[in-house]
Chain A
């Protein structure tokens, strides 16, 4: 292990906890907070409205018991955890949110929002199910406009075209930067560990000064690249180290027993695909100011290859491209218990992996520690198999 890890990594790993104080400070200084659940949320509009955005996806098992007084037990832990936090007022982010935005990404969330709406002021955005411009753009633009109007009414503000244009250009900049984080994984050996990527992407949801956040991430990126050029890598160079892509939805809450274990056991996560991964980072919003900004925002988000859409060919193409570009040896799909969209779609990804000649490991888990041992064993076996394949291939 290198001893010169970029110093800001820690800031991101700790951001979720540190953010508790920051958000209270923001509130005390009279700022408005917008809680969100998903990459599908048009961040541009929230920024244009002058709101501070924070992620509300539950990552802890603690509030699940409370949630189960209102929700079925056989439901995704992220949904239960998010709702449980709001119900027992145990999450400062939900507590301080002036408004909560939810997208109808899955049946469970969509229906949970109806209950959450009884506790918090909510804006629900309905998503299209068929990812086709001709068939869905109109309805989607309509929902994006309704969301904009909703924020204007709730906060008694006017969101101007200029504000939207500024937000579009800023968010594109952030997107390019986020893609760069994943692109560090293309190096061989990778210039950043998958655990650090995960920490940064998860942690940045809880940092509220956009410029400070941007600069910190930039320093990390530059440092990682400089380290790599100087022969300092996050792992010992090892030609047989399995290069993996991790994908799925909402797995931040299970990182300790999945993502962290993969790297602890000698795998390198070179890229993330899916919910908070490379998926939505490489598509930018059109910056042509002569066109309607809300239409341009809608166009971009319609292309998010989330499992909410069917048929999700765009995601399959992306899985194929990501495997190729990051030279992956294996694919790990982490889905949460009872998450139908991502779990069922894993079968389709398995087919793509098969066609690409790489193995897939599907881990279905939740936020409880009970399956740690079993997951560890499966990951170890998976890594061993890939390692052997790489050794065999090298000796042929």
Chain B
């Protein structure tokens, strides 16, 4: 997304009298912002933002973290009311401490595992703190009923994303993975949740209404790993121009966040939030059993022929988890696996194409 568009979106929100909160991570409990009437903008990889990272961060830091840093320091976010510094990975967490205007930075603590006793109470208490923060900062009141209502809407949005992904289950899949990812990327930044849901549903209708452009022979690839936002063109093109098709995207923009569910009938809404967000198959979770279960399920549902694991430079959660991931594919799923270490530059495009072509031929 380019900076001018983002700035325009923020201006539009403010014109409607709404506050804007910026999030770079799907661990942030969106229900609370929806309930408060705050526009939670889940910012994708930003094009054209001014470099700030090279002055603030060591060079050996993940390119996605650098991009968040650039975006936070760029003019395009100058009017945003709140920046959510979620403590997901080391790089981002420490980066948030360095950006300017710390008064609008709020640290949201993310639990580091799913199998520990502390996790649910921690998510609950962090959610309560967030509610208090919105009250103190903006004078906005969040009631349990409004969280419940927001949860229903967010479930619909999640459903609209999984439903869009599901059109890839058929043979041949109904669309190129690129088309689907591009649509989800474009829609996630829309401030009104109803628009996001409608846009996802419309894309699904549009893609299903035509004949599939994907040849039957295309190898069915599941893409997993780091956020794809800054490099999906490179990765997905390398797959889809070389004999493959991305049938399932297990990244945090798509399936990782969309498979979560908020239980609107739960007795306690904070309990429901904890259940929902605990269920995030992110590599900062130790152990990340959920990811392995999710991959196993998706590989079957989408009849996957190969698994491509995207790892951004210096993303330790995913690069270290790679060893377990590769064993899961080889020893348990018996599905060919290709790890791809890359960054957001174009410099390895040719090399990637060669490697991925070889992988496709092997399938």
Q: Chain A residues in contact with chain B, CB under 8 A?
A: 70-72, 74-75, 104, 106-108, 110-115, 124, 126-130, 135-136, 138-139, 142-143, 146, 307-308, 310-312, 337-338, 340-341, 343-348, 364
Contacts and interface: CB of A to CB of B under 8 A. Distances in A.
B60 A310 contact: no
12 contacts: A75-B319, A104-B112, A111-B321, A126-B286, A129-B107, A130-B87, A146-B116, A307-B94, A308-B90, A310-B87, A338-B60, A344-B94
Given A104-B286, A310-B93, A347 B57 contact: yes
Given A337-B60, A347-B57, A107 B89 contact: yes
Interface in B103-129: 107, 109-113, 116-118, 121-122, 125-126, 129
A115 B322 CA distance: 11
Interface centre among B60, B85, B110, B317 (most CB of A within 10 A): B60
B12 to A, nearest CB: 31
Interface string B327-353: 000000000000001000000000000
Interface centre among A71, A72, A113, A343 (most CB of B within 10 A): A72
A341 B94 contact: yes
A166 to B, nearest CB: 27
A128 B313 CA distance: 26
B324 A114 contact: yes
Interface in B283-308: 283-284, 286-287
A71 B94 CA distance: 23
Contacts of A340: 58, 61, 89-91, 94, 314, 316
A344 B85 contact: no
Interface of B: 56-58, 60-61, 85, 87, 89-91, 93-98, 102, 107, 109-113, 116-118, 121-122, 125-126, 129, 283-284, 286-287, 311, 313-314, 316-317, 319-324, 341
Contact of A107 (B57, B90, B118, B323): B90
Contact of B320 (A72, A136, A311, A343): A72
Given A104-B112, A129-B110, A344 B316 contact: no
B85 A310 contact: yes
Given A110-B284, A138-B125, 16 more contacts: A75-B319, A107-B90, A115-B320, A115-B323, A129-B109, A135-B125, A139-B122, A146-B118, A310-B85, A310-B96, A311-B107, A340-B90, A344-B57, A344-B94, A344-B95, A347-B98
A311 B97 CA distance: 6
Q: Which 8 A-B pairs have the closest CB atoms?
A: A111-B320, A344-B94, A129-B87, A72-B319, A139-B118, A107-B316, A142-B118, A340-B90
Nearest to B117: A142
A348 B89 CA distance: 18
Interface centre among B90, B91, B121 (most CB of A within 10 A): B90
A355 B44 CA distance: 35
A348 B102 CA distance: 13
Contacts of B287: 114
B112 A135 contact: no
Nearest to B60: A338
A78 B121 CA distance: 33
B291 to A, nearest CB: 12
A348 B97 contact: yes
Interface centre among B58, B112, B117, B316 (most CB of A within 10 A): B316
B104 to A, nearest CB: 13
A108 B316 contact: yes
Contacts of B96: 310
